[in-house]
């Protein structure tokens, strides 16, 4: 293969497979694109196993089976077994509402290393309203207990926003109660569905500060028992996060139909074209495809990033957010206080968070997104 990578390009560490966009839930911050892919376009089992072979051969170490809801695919066990056979660390990212004891046992037998279950709130009424799925919370609790009973490692993923942040202490208690070794407190990120619902989700600055203090105290109190990872909404930060550890540096995302993306939201950026695993080897796409090369490294950067000491620390922040907030993916992420757009973004966040809209635009195929 003549896919000679750019000088010094390291292999990716992880790949996330969106096995399907089908999901019984309708979370208003879903990370799937607004334009959801249909079931008939999904890759077949044999195509996914080839992707896993190629990923392992190029140095990928971890595979995240995600979606949509990955357990909606009946070949999930076969794919997990295949990945485990290639030495890949296997992680299942699930809403858990379709998981029962038998399925969990089959996944454990296939060699699954770890399960991450998302919770929409700490109690059923709020969780079922946010997820748009009556009865979902109770199913998640039952599934989480079965995951632990099967001896699998469990992470609880708590997606937080203005309408559930008051339950953060209870979420931490829930993680302890369920025996999770790790809790991800992830503030909603505002692209795609999250952006369409920003006015209903964005926390106030006061809420955010309280949440950060709660997490810091809980980390100390539960040290050695529960690891808490914390993803902040960077609208209120002074510097942006290093989105994906830098564009096209560590991570690959593959859509249900096989499109290879540098991050799950990359399709929100107009003018980028994405190659498909059905047409080209994964290693060649990683090394050479236009979408990966476009924002890789620091060569694309404008000022103020270009001459900034943090250029190789945060990589200029998030490209999708730069497009969403400043109208151009090739600009400094407006979450950065050095961006000329930062003041306007911060003012918008504060205004929306104080206005208190509650209604959601639920995720669904063909939903109408109000402007």
Lay out the site mask for ligand SF4 across 290-329 (x = CB under 6 A, - = otherwise).
Answer: --------------xx--x-xx--x-xx------------
- Using rule CB under 8 A, residue 311 touches another protein: no
| 30 contributes a contact to ligand SF4 by CB under 6 A | yes
- Residues numbered 321 to 350 that lie near another protein (CB under 8 A) are none
CA distance 216 to 99: 32
Selected from 5, 126, 181, 304, the binder of another protein by CB under 8 A is 181
Q: Residue 110 or residue 329: which is nearer to another protein going by CB?
A: 110
Scanning residues 49 to 68, which ones bind another protein (CB under 8 A)? Answer: 57-59, 61-62
Residue 345 CA to residue 15 CA, distance in Å, equals 32
- Sites for another protein among residues 8-37 (CB under 8 A): 11, 13-14
Among 153, 311, 330, 348, binds another protein (CB under 8 A): 153
CA distances from 234 to 186, 230, 275, 320, 332 (A): 11, 12, 30, 13, 13
DSSP 129-193: HHHT-TTHHHHHHHHHHHHHHTT-EEEEEEEE-TTTGGGHHHHHHHHHHHT-SEEEEEEPP-SHH
CA distances to 175, 299, 302, 328 from 307, in Å? 43, 11, 9, 19
Is 69 near ligand SF4 (CB under 6 A)? Answer: yes
225 binds, among another protein, ligand SF4, none (CB under 5 to 8 A by kind): another protein
DSSP 248-301: TTSEEEE-TT-BEESSTTGGGSTT----BTTTS-HHHHHHH-HHHHHTSSSTT-
Return residues touching another protein (CB under 8 A). 11, 13-14, 57-59, 61-62, 87, 89, 91, 113-114, 116, 151-153, 155, 181-182, 184, 223-227, 229
Return residues touching ligand SF4 (CB under 6 A). 23, 25-27, 30, 32, 67-69, 95, 118, 239-240, 304-305, 308, 310-311, 314, 316-317, 332-333, 336, 338, 363
């Amino acid at each position: 293969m003549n896919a000679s990578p750019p000088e010094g390009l390291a292999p990716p560490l992880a790949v996330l497979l969106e096995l399907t966009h089908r999901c019984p839930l309708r979370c208003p911050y879903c990370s799937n694109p607004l334009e959801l892919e249909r079931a008939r376009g999904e890759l077949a089992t044999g195509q996914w196993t080839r992707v896993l072979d190629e990923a392992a051969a190029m140095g990928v170490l971890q595979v995240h089976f995600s979606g949509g809801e990955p357990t909606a695919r009946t070949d999930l066990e076969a794919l997990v077994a295949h990945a485990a056979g290639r030495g890949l660390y296997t992680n299942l990212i699930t809403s858990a509402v379709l998981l029962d004891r038998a399925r969990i046992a089959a996944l454990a037998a296939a060699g699954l290393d770890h399960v991450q279950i998302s919770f929409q709130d700490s109690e059923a009424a709020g969780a079922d309203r946010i997820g748009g799925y009556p009865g979902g919370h109770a199913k998640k609790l039952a599934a989480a207990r079965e995951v632990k009973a099967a001896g699998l490692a469990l992470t609880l993923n708590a997606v937080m926003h203005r309408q559930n942040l008051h339950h953060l202490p209870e979420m931490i208690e829930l993680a302890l109660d369920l025996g999770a070794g790790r809790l991800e407190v992830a503030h909603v990120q505002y692209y795609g569905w999250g952006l369409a619902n920003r006015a209903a989700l964005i926390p106030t600055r006061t809420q955010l500060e309280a949440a950060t203090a709660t997490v810091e105290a809980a980390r100390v109190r539960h040290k050695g028992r529960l690891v808490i990872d914390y993803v902040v909404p960077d609208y209120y930060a002074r510097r942006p996060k290093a989105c994906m550890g830098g564009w096209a540096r560590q991570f690959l995302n593959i859509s249900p139909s096989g499109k290879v993306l540098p991050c799950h939201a990359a399709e929100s950026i107009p003018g980028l074209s994405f190659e498909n695993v059905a047409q080209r080897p994964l290693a060649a796409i990683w090394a050479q495809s236009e979408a990966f090369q476009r924002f890789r490294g620091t060569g694309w950067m404008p000022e103020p990033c270009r001459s900034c000491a943090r250029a190789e620390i945060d990589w200029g922040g998030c490209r999708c957010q730069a497009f969403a907030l400043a109208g151009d993916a090739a600009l400094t992420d407006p979450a950065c206080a050095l961006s000329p757009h930062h003041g306007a973004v911060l003012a918008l966040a504060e205004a929306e968070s104080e206005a208190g809209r509650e209604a959601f635009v639920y995720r669904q195929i063909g939903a109408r997104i109000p402007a």
